[in-house]
Amino acid sequence: MAISQNFPDVRPSLNLNFARSKTLDPRITFERASIGTYVDENGLIKTAAADEARFDHNPETGESLGLLIEEQRTNIWQYSSDLNISDNPLYGNWVKSTVISNTSISPDGTLTADTISPQAPSSSIIERFTATAGTTYTFSIYLKRNPESNDSVLDYFKFFVSWSNNGSTYTGVSLYALVSGFSTTDVLTNEWKRFSFSYTCPAGAVSMEMGVTNGNSGVGDPPYSVLAWGAQIEAGSFPTSYIPTSGSTVTRQAERANITGTNFSDWYNQDEGTIFLESNTSRNSNLILSSKYIWGLNDGSSANYIGYSSNRYQTSGGQVSLSHNIESTFKSASSYKKDDFAVSDKGSPVLTDTSAILPTGIDRLTIGDLEPVGNRRINTTISKLLYYPERLTNAQLQNLTK
């Protein structure tokens, strides 16, 4: 069998290799009306200015993950790197843990990490905030073993959430045993690690507290403490990139990346084409949200589009709707042509639709979203995006994604 039958013999007319280049193609318009943070190749948290694209990395291996796209989020914890300034919890007779500020180098390379030590049973560091019943909130924090402490087991520092229906009397639970993937085998190491948990505000509740506590474990024998930094509470079912605060809530605005005008029409074929995608969603696991799109070909609205979301490849009006199953790291190839749509993920058998019309008026590519209105962002890193100006064969689609 000829090589061209297995792999494309046509060159992509658009080749965006974000993971390798760590730069934006000049044809891309990128917007974010706020700062944003990312992890660099050395594992340090860095800050990007407004409208500056972020190229994220695996914090443990330094691997380049590509272009980071996220939705809007607000950090409710008002002093994210100074944990000595936080609310005293109202729940029961709990007291605030002892906090010594600026004792260690933090994940962003500055001397801003704190030492947290329980001063009594049920000591805690908690932020109190107005909450909405039925809304899921996620708390996250960076923790590290304190070399001056003789105890490294995280069991002494549990996640804690409490809520109130009247603003003064709180009901609380320790979430240590309830957090998925978080067990008594987890220990603090000499490296920073970000821990998180999510909890849905109960019906009737008007306020919540989230944070870390030593539960009812006492103060430990011998005395113990941990290093902590980067506290964050955000409305959502998963944590997003760190949002620094210093006295008030801070919002990281949503990001938008697209190619329009002649920058788009120079490489796009209205009649047929294929998009190859390589991405990594392990940083933010929102794969169950079917309305979140990784890329879209559209006319600036949802009236005419071809889009690839977290669980389906589809077009406007329901003409095409091919289900798939994205995992944390994946490759996909999606082709379009009148009555000839197809998609393959991770080398899986090709799914096809042979009775669908092409949307009209498509004049742009949106990256990490469907169209530049609404909120359909996937919250992911995009390593590579290629466009071929023809409908590749099913065999080529499958082999590209293996």
pLDDT tens across 95-104, in order? 888 899 999 9
Residue 318, phi then psi, degrees to nearest 5: 70, 20
- Among the residues of 225-261, which ranges form H helices? none
Radius of gyration of the chain (CA): 24
The strand pair at 226-235 and 207-213 is best described as unpaired
Q: Is 395 helix (H, G, I), strand (E, B) or coil?
A: helix
Spatial contact of 143 and 187, defined as CB atoms under 8 Å apart? no
Specify the higher pLDDT residue, 253 or 369. Answer: 253
Residue labelled with tokens 């594992």: 43
Confidence of residue 154 (pLDDT cuts 50, 70, 90): low
395 pLDDT above the threshold of 50 = yes
pLDDT of residue 321: 79
Specify the higher pLDDT residue, 260 or 5. Answer: 260
Distance CA 402, CA 382 (A): 17
Q: What is the pLDDT of residues 172-184, one digit of tens each?
A: 876 654 333 344 4
Average pLDDT rounded to a whole number, residues 66-82: 95
pLDDT of residue 323: 74
Spatial contact of 211 and 76, defined as CB atoms under 8 Å apart? no
Average pLDDT rounded to a whole number, residues 4-29: 91
> Which residues does 309 contact at the CB level (< 8 Å), separation at least 6?
290, 291, 292, 293, 294, 370, 376, 378
**CATH 2.60.120.200 at 3-32+256-400, yes or no:** yes
Distance CA 298, CA 191 (A): 44
Cα 383 to Cα 19, 118, 236, 289, 290, distances in angstroms: 5, 43, 24, 21, 21
Type of residue numbered 223 = P
pLDDT of residue 328: 55
Q: Is 6 helix (H, G, I), strand (E, B) or coil?
A: helix
10 pLDDT above the threshold of 50 = yes
Average pLDDT rounded to a whole number, residues 366-381: 79
Best CA proximity match to 309, nearest among 244, 372, 380, 239: 380
379 pLDDT above the threshold of 90 = no
Q: Of 9-18, 156-165, 181-190, which one has max mean pLDDT?
A: 9-18
pLDDT of residue 88: 72
Best CA proximity match to 175, nearest among 205, 151, 139, 227: 139
Q: Of 61-65, 333-337, 377-381, which gets the smallest average pLDDT?
A: 377-381
Instruction: Parse the chain into domains and list their residue ranges.
Output: 3-32+256-400, 75-251
Q: 75-251: CATH homologous superfamily? A: Galactose-binding domain-like (2.60.120.260)
pLDDT of residue 286: 46
Specify the higher pLDDT residue, 180 or 168. Answer: 168
Q: Do domains 3-32+256-400 and 75-251 have the same CATH topology?
A: yes
Q: What is the pLDDT of residues 235-267, one digit of tens each?
A: 998 899 999 999 999 999 999 999 999 999 999
